[in-house]
Structure 1
């Protein structure tokens, strides 16, 4: 570090040492001295210490190459030595302090032998420097004439300290805003410390942090005391973490409900301790949810602290849970392995492994079980590959394997099969057999143009295909798979744009009374008026829409358009008694569905929601059942669609009490040819009649269908024999024309004549 008064740079860093050597003689002494100096020089360089030497007596100073490197200078670059110019490189917030510290250090003040400050690096960023200096020579008056010291770059350490400090502040803030009280108990010494928040929760204001060991037990509600103390005692004996909820009588006599969580640990002195958190959950469920959010936040902060610690200790290249290389390490190895393969003429095979059913294990047995499964999977992968192969965990339950080899396809296929077989074996965890599997995508590439990052993307595409084909399998990348994904992505983008542009429109298929052929209603069908491909039916876009989670949005849009069209028909003097619209299972779980429907001001009895039979199963979600009740309250009827193809029981049917059943078209198609089909459909109609439920037949394609269904007692008909789906603007003219009646009326007349003219006989 420069001093206030500039001195010329020393020409020979070893000048003083050479003079000293001359004073003690030559020979073996010179060699020994040189060896010592070399040893110290190497030690200083290896430790990253930059040496500086300010000699007032000789009016010169010395700065080592490491000292210069710390500041971004070339090792052989000369230092100007201008004190004022150098002081301008010191951070403005540190400048006054540094000037004072240098002055005191030059004066030999021991309190300033070590100090820290920031200095601007040659490339513009700030470098934290730990400066250590001391006087080594004085004149006859005791005034320091030579000060020698070292500088070291501590920027990384400062950043690490700041990161840890920030995370600690966040954790404390999370605890403060969530009103969580914390205690720590020393099991061996029978002492307990409570923080201020916990003291306030128990109403013990004025108490010291060192709480009597029986204070907590005394505060327990008498009716809960035996249960809570028993659980706590068993936990202490077994050393297992525990959680519980109980009532207390506060110090002010008020009864409150407390939720507590506790965990055991051993501190640095080997003492077994218990740490826990308590919070008051009395007020309402909203407070309970808020406390859960605060707990999750605290756990997230703990994970951040753990991640920061691991990053410092393992140079941010390994996953703390599995000890496998992480994504950052993988990115580095992709470049290295691809360069190696290009140089040696090898192929690079990348296996992207994703665990199947891992989320279910996490959700049912907890994250500790999930962590155990990840560690097991990591061990399986390590044991399955060769020593030269590279295995990384890149996040969640995903892993990547890099293999360089001569002929990859057959060997890699065998490796993938072996991994899948091993991962399908059950893993025992705390009395449970955990079962999961793996889907693997494989991409192999080689040659002079090998691009490892593109190969990794190809492996990801192959993995997507493996999962789509049923999981627990492996698939090799192919160009067609990439094209499929690109097409699906393009269609997904077009669906979102189509929603913005209102390209999704309703079509209507009229429904008719089976006896009179009068119009009784219309089913609303979603269509996509694609700007390029024209009118598209749901089979072209529904799967992608479900992946995008926009089916509910389409349902809501079609419902609003259908209501507007019905109002227009009424204004035009045309009455269609009822319009039915499809509703997705996802929309039935929407807690705000009732509110949204009330806002539409739907006329009671004018709209029916068509539910797939699979939605009406006996074990349907409570949210679905609640929304079905709300539908009835706003006057919306319930139709069961595609009846006869699902798994609903009669009990479920009675519980839902729908207004209408729609017989699936597959049961209608063979009615003219199949007596068994006629009996089955007749039975469904009888069930509907006995439960006072109307029955609609879909897929009515011919006059024979119309005749048979009328004879079987079906209430309503829908199909191409009567009317095809059409846009709203065509409905009025179609109904007024009544063209569907002409052919069917003639056919009915002929049938009546034949029945009268033919002798009666028993039907087959």
Structure 2
């Protein structure tokens, strides 16, 4: 490319006259120069000329230089074979020297530069005798070329008439330079990330060169970048100085690398701990040098010391515990509260009795017992009441089994009974029935009648393959089935039950994992003003974004969540997210009057509920709690009643859900004074077909109006539902006819689109008819 890129057409040279950097020489001077090369007096001998020409040719070929010669006076252009080889051309391939065609081969990013460089080179500018650029090789890749050239002949006006030069392929050099640059960047980044400072010490001249990081580590000024070795040693803590100096001197004398830790006094007076590694080498000038890295390990050393002290303390405590264990070993097999054997004792007895049954051909039965409603008693009446119940349960179990049977408390409110029998099922069923019957009897505690019961899982096995661990697991599976079937009952283990229980247990594990991974998310279903169809609120619904099964409704997980006692946790998570979403929507300009969330009976019994809600700083009047149908409003205990009062003080409204099919009576409405009651969807479904249903719904609406309670209809799924409920005077509507539940991300778009108001929408048509038929709103509706 050299020749081509330096070739300016005569027209361009005339348009761009070049300043003469070297004045043209007279012919006699040129001849004298030609005769004086290499000290030879003249070139009169043809053989000598041939020999010299051959020598220069071989030298050029061997050096990889591609020669080009542009003689504008004779209109001749010459390109050597090496020049062609650099570009992938064959030795006999013609290079026509077309400037514009060649220019298209130059890399687009270099093109403007090359045009300017050629003009300056042709003008004899010494700054452009050498320049670099990229040119496309014949096989398509880019080749880096170093172009060297200069004018050698000028006309009488100082315009270059002949430009001669060489091109060199420097692609390898460029790749090597880029590789070195990348390595340098990586090294610098690694040092920067690890906060390591680097130095290089000239031992023979007594100087040390510091990098910026090392200066920062030592707290020195930038002027100390090049300092004497003694200046560095002066920063070392006096108590470490001799040791450090001796280490450096010994390893320098041995010409070996080393590493060590020492303290320094920073320039700002702070004491820090430095870890240093150094390597010895001799440079190209024979000077002895050390190169090394330092980094601050003060915090690391402090942590190491803390861990060592903690380890020593732990070992001392372990020795104390071992000594204590030896002295109280005889008490380690019993539960301190009930006096029953504990889990450790159970494991020992289970192993022994299993071996006995295998040897004698007897059957071993395991009864796994779990107390029902124990937690509610413990939470509402306190731990002392719970302890009293556990002691009573232990006495009942002792009195209900034979002297040869074994009973243990294995934790919390769980017990295990071991029985060796010959005709198992009937006898064991009798024992289980007796235990359940006795535990269901009320217990007096400080004036309270405490009632609880028991669920029992039973597993029986015999024969030489009896596996006590599997048998205990089977009893646990049977217990799970008993609790899931209604409690206060017993269940025998079966393989079918095992498969069912394992599936439920797997789902239970997934629920707990889902809570850790925040897989439970709120979905929102808008509630609409029946008169205007404006959004009056939203009901927040819990959904489980299961990683395998997709979006799950509560009917897929609520029962098991109840068993796990995590419904309150799910309620709390949904409430927090709903509050956050509402604030976000308000910031976006969407006015959401209020949100309603479901609340379980167990959460209403939580004595810490008021404290937890206060921490959320809920704006009064913006949140409603929907009391689920499982909550009996006519039979609220003290904890529930107290929490309902706290909710009102916090400005949280109460809504009665599923009115008409749940547990709420008129008396409970008078006592509770909820903000809203929701008519169950079962009463709404047949409104268009049933006059009796319309009368019933009208009565409920009138009851709500008389008690100043808003009435919301659920299950509004058709245009007829909307029309009839508007005619009956219902306050708010909720159902698929207007909007389905949606995620928080979709809610803003739903509000913007106002699809429920579109002309083609059924709700919009109903709204238009209503506005024609109603002159103005009633005073009660207007006041809301």
Structure 1 or 2, whichever has the larger Rg, is: 2
Q: TM-score, normalised by structure 1?
A: 0.50
